[in-house]
Structure 1
């Protein structure tokens, strides 16, 4: 889930099971106890409360494993984890933002989960999470939730502007139809600004998560999946065509500085993810529509990926203990406890079937269907919908450069030059790191 709030504080919470060290404990019981540290990002208030409750419940019910939870502000998280790794002090179980997983695998900091978790558990993950967490034939990460991305629309505004729509990805607006819809909506609007793309989120990961799927929809990608080179990909014709299309939409974009463009009904369309649904539903009620993203020629495509869990390369006892806690978090009850709090897509298929938001006929069923039809690591075709972000240890640099170019497009600037500069920067980083080959 994209969370643009940055919390400056570092919060450390140690949750220890009551009774584990009481007078009833024998020395042999104490010897069998494995204490592990779990490192997680400090998300929303609701997410924090649920995770703390989950740690407490786990400790209450387990005599051989004790979890201590450390929470770090999201904006500082990756740097904090890297600093601990550099000190040789990696926690036993860590959260990793999905697209950054390849970097930790490259550093040999994390271990495969094959054998630590059962095939049944690994197989119940959504296809999108299976794709995100798999590298070189091994599963390195699992998630309790995934993210959904699409277009929210104001039914009343569309009808007033005589704009037709489809809720099916197979019949999503083409780029020409979407541009025409923007024009019609603008003709009925006082300032002509009818599209929210969350510019208020700034230039960061949101722009890659939210708009890289358009590149796949245009038939392109950001890097070569084998050599990791951006040449002919990040600066390729399909990527440039996708960003030129976005640039043509710039005159219709509301800057949304107050983050209320859609809830105040100032705009008719909002390009964003699942995390806004509750506010949008409260504001628009039955007028709220959830639509797929436009089709730029190779099928409508969407984003995927969120925070995942991975086990670090400690000793066997600590790895097994971390897996025990992870197995607890992945139970249907705990997955639903978290996703009912943060509104995300349940990461286990069995839990998803019990979700009032995402199950069949639920208001966000589209997001779940998109994730089930993940393109995986194969070249996207018209049949798949959810596109993982590129698999490379250099993802952070790649994403930042693509986001800069996308920001230029959203403001109507020269996208060809921006993408050429981005490709140069990413290629230089690739060379500096020896192509990320050991």
Structure 2
């Protein structure tokens, strides 16, 4: 399974959550069940199909249950494709578990909808301030969730290919500019050696479109919504900078630099030499290094004028609002915040550890390690997706517009329609007040 699909798909299903909330804000307070039976607390996770990460969750639960006699945590794992819809249904029926994981971009939506309660993890072994900012989920200045890892977008290339074509290999301190990047793609296209010089993963769906491409829009100076109050997308998503991005994005297809719809496994195609540069993520770094060795170039995102940007936030842990044993739920959350578990998650999943202390214990990710630049990308370049309950709807509209633009729609019209639809959604939901 392609890592980005597994890591990011949770947010793509979140449109169902937005729909449910628009239909009627489903509060988790009270109800038929509380996620706790006596001192036994139920925990839900999306990792049923991901044995490596699920094993870490099981380990933490086992250690916690053995560490004390007051509480017991019981696991229930769901396939990721079914997870968000299961949470939405349980929230509507007021049958949420005490503990659950949530895709980072959805924290605001679930908190606003009454699914989650604020948490207090003060006194944990790992202070929140030690974590990557993108791994801490806050809404309206309250802490609702935290994660053990993040991922980072990057360009992969072969150093030998770039050198052969006279293309500078960018560094953390000196990324490619738009001018350099466009010139590099033109050279690679002219060489005739590649099906497409650039692989952008355009065959993906769901959250990949916002995660993968909105950072480029933001580097152009645009954004998905005006973040000053989160009350309008008009003038921002369809503003001049965003239209400039969209025009460039379409030109990648019209100039033959990318496929309108890439293959089922873009990373496999890159490793097979069908493309020269791949826009991908840290989840494939180890695989690519195993295949290409020292010839692999891990390249920072392009600076399109407003600095390099990547998306931020992945899966995080939270407590439901309906949990009747919040002391027990917070005890488990605090217990889990040990450096050894941050290390376990990163080793098991190939993700970026959320703390420097954990990174120092993982081969390749420590300072000077071959993958440490990815950790630095996650520290220096992340833009958290808009912290608004409207985000799942925003993401769906952006995906629709971006696909239309690649297919030949007028960039200004496509973005303008998306902005209008988002504004209507905001107005219909009273701008997600409360």
The bucket for the TM-score relative to the shorter chain is 0.7 to 0.9
Kept in 1: contact 2:176–2:301 (CA 8 A) = yes
Name which of 120, 126, 129 aligns with 1:123: 129
Name the residue aligned to 1:424. 420
Q: Is the 8 A contact 1:264 1:283 kept in 2?
A: no
- Equivalents in 2 of 1:49, 1:104: separation in Å? 26
Q: Are positions 1:152 and 2:156 aligned together?
A: yes
TM-score for the superposition, normalised by structure 1? 0.85
Report the equivalent of 2:367.
360
Q: What's the CA shift for 1:119?
A: 9.2
Q: 1:23-422, aligned counterparts within 5 Å?
A: 34-42=39-47, 44-114=50-120, 118=124, 121-130=127-136, 133-168=137-172, 170-201=173-204, 203-225=205-227, 226-250=229-253, 251-254=256-259, 255-259=262-266, 260-314=268-322, 318-373=325-380, 385-411=381-407, 413-422=409-418
TM-score, normalising length from structure 2? 0.86
Give how far 1:338 is off: 1.4
* Length, aligned pairs only: 398
Q: Can you list the C-alpha shifts for 1:108-142, whole angstroms capped at 9, x where unaligned?
A: 32222236664952222212223xx1222221111
CA contact (8 A) 2:126 2:337 kept: no
User: 1:341-399 deviations in whole A, cap 9, x for unaligned?
Assistant: 111011233212322232211222122112223xxxxxxxxxxx211101111111100
Give me the whole-angstrom Cα distance separating, in 1, the residues matched to 2:264 and 2:322.
46
* C-alpha contact 2:99 2:317 (8 A) present in aligned 1: yes
Cα shift at 1:335 = 1.3
Change (3 A) 1:160 1:412: farther
Kindly state the Cα deviation for residue 258 of structure 1 after the two structures are TM-superposed. 4.3
How far apart are the structure 2 equivalents of 1:135 and 1:334?
25
- State whether residues 185 and 192 of structure 1, in contact with CA within 8 Å, keep that contact through their aligned partners in structure 2: no
Q: Which has the higher contact order (CA 8 A, sep 6+)?
A: 2
* Partners of 2:287 and 2:214 in 1: CA distance: 25
Q: Is contact 1:157–1:185 with CA below 8 Å preserved after alignment?
A: no
Instruction: Say if 1:360 and 1:116 are closer, same or farther in 2 by CA, change over 3 A.
Output: closer
Report the equivalent of 1:380: none
* Alpha-carbon distance between aligned partners in 2 of 1:53 and 1:341, rounded to the nearest angstrom: 12
1:263 deviates by 1.4
* DSSP-derived class of the 1:58 partner: helix
Q: 1:326 to 1:349 in 2, by over 3 A?
A: farther
Give 5+ residue unaligned stretches, structure 1. Answer: 8-31, 374-384
Partner of 1:24: none
Contact persistence 1:228–1:392 (CA under 8 A): no
Pick which of 118-127 and 152-161 moved more. Answer: 118-127
Answer yes or no: is the 8 Å Cα contact 1:263–1:279 preserved in 2: no
